[in-house]
Amino acid sequence: MLKKLLLTAVVAVLVLSSSTFAQDRYSLTLNNEYLTNLKSSGSLKSEVSESARNKIGFIELRYDDSKDKTPIELDVEITRNGSDAVIVLDNELIAKIKGQPVRIPARENGFSRVLLKYDAPAVGIKSSQIISEDLLFVRLSDVKSLAGELDEISEITMTTKFGDVTIPMEQIAGIKLHTDEDDSAVVVMVDGDVLTGVPSLPTLQLSTDWGKAEINPEAVQSITTTSNSKFSRQNTDFGTRWTLKTGNSFAPGM
């Protein structure tokens, strides 16, 4: 039953009503009640008026006690889900917002709702695993992840345009799965190199604090070696590329 609960994303949406729009800035002010609701239900929403939808250049997240401070601009990803602009908040970003307003560039507009989602800490870490080199973080969705030690997999095989490649898990900083219609994956190595191809992965056996979890690779968004790591898409001169952001953790190759 617990496995089914963990693998099923249920998001209750609460209304975030404290929003203002001035020039090209859409500002949301959080408080203790909003954060409690966000962490318990998983999301908060704010409806955008029709007159403001095509004018938003920045989304600002403020906290009631520090809302009058000068905002800092952060490179936080805003993803589109239909007409929603989705921003994922983890504990680190929430702490920054409490100290000083955060300004996030909206690289496209036209959305009718801002949806804040809470990225809860990974489930399943044992106290004995905190310093384990074998600890992996398996992300099942934007806001749901498991942590544990991966059993019986010491390497993965990928079919690339250069042929089949076998990669030891100890050399991998992160894997982003299901990146296109061919079910390709992007692998970022600890030295910063990046490989793209179609991986061959069995059912993942993850040893967590509450026992064994069997995870179908089709349900996995990414696998990383540090808790704060997240993949994001970046527009480059050579097209869209997946990059691995490691938060407070050491970046690959450092």
pLDDT at 57 over 70: yes
Which helix or strand (DSSP H or E) is residue 4 part of?
helix 2-7
Express each pLDDT in 182-214 by its tens digit.
999 999 998 889 999 999 988 999 888 888 889
In the beta sheet, which residues pair with residue 175? 187, 223
Question: What tokens appear for 84 in the block?
Answer: 């929603």
**What pLDDT is recorded for position 252?**
40
Tell me what percent of the residues of the chain surpass a pLDDT of 90: 46
pLDDT level of residue 9 (50, 70, 90 thresholds) = very low
pLDDT at 177 over 90: yes
Express each pLDDT in 108-151 by its tens digit.
889 999 999 999 888 876 554 444 567 889 999 888 888 888 88
Closest CA to 50 of 79, 29, 21: 21
Return the domain boundaries, the chain. 12-118, 127-245
Classified as helix, coil or strand, 127 is helix
**What pLDDT is recorded for position 251?**
35
**Pairing mode of beta strands 144-151, 135-141:** antiparallel
**What pLDDT is recorded for position 10?**
35
Looking at every residue in the chain, the average pLDDT score rounds to 83
Which helix or strand (DSSP H or E) is residue 163 part of?
strand 163-168
